[in-house]
């Protein structure tokens, strides 16, 4: 399997930053520091400060589209991604939008993610099948992060449905690996289910995995690392959002976020025996 530019950049960043930490950027009006709330571009200013303070410790940033959409400030999302691209060009940006639609519409979501926002990758939902993913594959340098085994409690119902030979999320993993001829894909596999993460890893070779659910959702970094490393001893983007970006509430919020990111990075490296 070839690697896409996305995967090549992600792998380079794992090495250069010595980090598999991905910081999720999920701004909320009532949780960002009080002194920022009255600004016209409060979400951008918040995100920018978090980005600068945590950049040294991360392989990826993952801005969450819903948080910007709820407040009608997609322009600040675009501005934030542009800021990362200019000021931290080696860090990959995964737009967390979880899009999923029939091919003729997916084309527009792919354009949103890759042309409007210039993200390096976007999260997508597999429920509609191959033609719903095809428009993303057409951007051969970009990454496609497919939901496989999500971290939330309700995910069992459908994702663990028993198919003829195996649960559904493993069918998703297997099929995505087959479709991924250009090394563009990642799979979302929640930290809250480490045994299932290990099963996914066993199926997909060195395909990178995006792992949310450590921190607030209760997943264990040690278990994730034990279950998920690839043959090169990397292969994960372990994502934490609220635990890092809201580590502080005051004027020193960015500093606190940076310190917390450094801590989580260290915890990941310790779990890898890099102590």
Site map for a copy of itself, 132-151, x if CB under 8 A?
A: xx-------------x--xx
- Cα-based distances in Å from 201 to 132, 196, 271: 24, 9, 18
Closest CB to a copy of itself among residues 128, 259: 128
When asked if residue 39 is in the footprint of a copy of itself (CB under 8 A), the reply is no
H, E, C per residue of the chain: CCCCHHHHHHHHHHHHHCCCEEEEECCCCCCCCHHHCCCCCHHHHHHHHHHHHHHHHCCEEEEEHHHHHHCCCHHHHHHHHHHHHHHCCCCEEEEEEEECCCHHHHHHHHHHHHHHCCCCEEEECHHHCHHHHHHHHCCCCCEEEEEEECCCHHHHHHHCCECCCCEHHHHHHHHHHHHCCCCCEEEEECCCCHHHHHHHHHHHCCCCEEECCEHHHCECHHHHHHHHCCCCCCCEEEEECHHHHCCCCCCCHHHHHHHHHHHHHHHHHHHCCCC
Query: Does residue 165 have an active-site annotation?
Result: no
HSE of 33, CA atoms in CB hemisphere, 13 A: 20
When asked if residue 54 is in the footprint of a copy of itself (CB under 8 A), the reply is no
When asked if residue 260 is in the footprint of a copy of itself (CB under 8 A), the reply is no
When asked if residue 86 is in the footprint of a copy of itself (CB under 8 A), the reply is no
**Residue choice 84, 94, 172, 225 for contact with a copy of itself (CB under 8 A):** 172
Closest CB to a copy of itself among residues 15, 37: 37
When asked if residue 256 is in the footprint of a copy of itself (CB under 8 A), the reply is no
When asked if residue 80 is in the footprint of a copy of itself (CB under 8 A), the reply is no
When asked if residue 164 is in the footprint of a copy of itself (CB under 8 A), the reply is yes
List beta partners, residue 147.
188
When asked if residue 41 is in the footprint of a copy of itself (CB under 8 A), the reply is no
When asked if residue 196 is in the footprint of a copy of itself (CB under 8 A), the reply is no
Phi, psi of 251 (to 5 degrees): -65, -20
When asked if residue 26 is in the footprint of a copy of itself (CB under 8 A), the reply is yes
When asked if residue 127 is in the footprint of a copy of itself (CB under 8 A), the reply is yes
Site map for a copy of itself, 93-122, x if CB under 8 A?
A: -----xxxxxx-xx-xx-xx--xx------
Pick from 258, 227, 221, 194: which is nearest to 20 by CA?
A: 221
Closest CB to a copy of itself among residues 115, 251: 115
Give the footprint of a copy of itself on residues 203-222 (CB under 8 A).
Answer: 212
Q: Which stretch binds a copy of itself (CB under 8 A): 52-60, 87-95, 158-166, 251-259?
A: 158-166
Closest CB to a copy of itself among residues 174, 256: 174
Closest CB to a copy of itself among residues 164, 275: 164
Provide the token pair at 201.
């890893």
Catalytic residues: 98
User: Residues in the site for a copy of itself, rule: CB under 8 A?
Assistant: 26, 64, 66-67, 69-72, 74-75, 78, 98-103, 105-106, 108-109, 111-112, 115-116, 125-133, 147, 150-159, 161-164, 168, 171-172, 175, 212
């Amino acid at each position: 399997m070839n690697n896409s530019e996305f995967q090549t950049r992600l792998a380079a960043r794992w090495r250069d930053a010595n980090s598999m930490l991905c910081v999720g950027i999920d701004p909320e009006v009532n949780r960002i520091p009080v002194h920022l709330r009255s600004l016209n571009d409060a979400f951008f200013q918040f995100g920018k400060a978090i980005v600068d303070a945590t950049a040294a410790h991360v392989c990826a940033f993952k801005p969450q589209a819903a948080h910007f959409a709820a407040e009608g400030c997609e322009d600040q999302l675009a501005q934030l991604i542009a800021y990362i691209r200019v000021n931290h060009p080696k860090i990959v940006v995964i737009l967390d939008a979880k899009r999923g639609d029939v091919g003729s519409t997916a084309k527009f979501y792919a354009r949103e993610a890759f042309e409007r926002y210039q993200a390096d990758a976007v999260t997508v939902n597999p429920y509609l099948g191959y033609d719903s993913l095809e428009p993303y594959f057409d951007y051969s340098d970009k990454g496609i992060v497919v939901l496989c085994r999500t971290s939330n409690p309700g995910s069992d119902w459908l994702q663990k449905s028993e198919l003829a030979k195996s649960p559904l999320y493993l069918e998703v993993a297997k099929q995505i690996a087959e479709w991924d001829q250009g090394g563009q894909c990642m799979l979302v596999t929640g930290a809250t289910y480490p045994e299932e993460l290990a099963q996914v890893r066993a199926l997909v070779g060195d395909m990178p995995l995006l792992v949310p659910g450590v921190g607030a959702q209760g997943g264990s970094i040690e278990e994730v690392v034990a279950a998920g490393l690839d043959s090169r001893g990397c292969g994960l983007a372990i994502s934490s959002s609220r635990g890092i970006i809201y580590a502080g509430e005051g004027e020193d919020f960015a500093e606190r976020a940076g310190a917390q990111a450094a801590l989580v990075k260290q915890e990941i490296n310790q779990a890898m025996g890099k102590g």
